[in-house]
Amino acid sequence: MEKLWSPWRSQYIDSFSETPKEEPKCIFCSASEKGSEDKNSVLVVRKGKLTFTILNLYPYNNGHLMVVPNRHLSEFSSLTADENSEIMLELQLAQQALSIAMKPHGFNIGANLGKVSGAGIDAHLHFHIVPRWNGDTNFMPVLGEVKVLSEDLMLTKEKLLAAYLNISGK
């Protein structure tokens, strides 16, 4: 049997077996707080007025981003018109930044509303943008039930920050 070294996956697997001593704070709320020491706050790549964009700690593909409203809500219909507008703008900017930084061939953009739809975090609404490449689905997920991610999250973050700067012209 071949072995694939993927130590970061153990954090994800272990997260299901840990018994929290108290109700855990929403990871999105923690990540968005100013001066947060939360481990997820380091994954934030952009802050808007009403939203923020964050790298997914357990991505489907390299560069997997999420656009999240600052306000803690789970219902899509509860978004204000301003939040709706900013989310769409931030998804467009994320697509531009990912195009510059990662050069994907396409994108998946969407939201999983509710646990049954596949939302890993259903208490805080968020929108995914996943870069895709021709051939990024191969035998590994099908036969080995494993996804190979080739780039460290912090390197991806550096590339995205540079791309956002490029877009803004600063």
Q: DSSP for 100-126, please give it.
A: HHH--SEEEEE---SGGGT-SS-SS--
Out of 64, 72, 124, 126, the active site residue is 126
Question: 10-23 as b/e, with b when 16 or more CB fall inside 10 Å?
Answer: eeeeeeeeeeeeee
Provide the 10 A C-beta neighbour count for residue 121: 15
Place of tokens 């999983």: 112
CA pair distance 126, 19, nearest whole angstrom: 25
**Of 91, 150, 161, 155, nearest in space to 126 by CA:** 91
126 classed as catalytic:
yes
Among residues 102, 95, 109, the alpha carbon closest in space to that of 150 is found at 102
Q: Which pair of tokens denotes residue 125?
A: 């609404």
Q: Which residues are catalytic?
A: 126
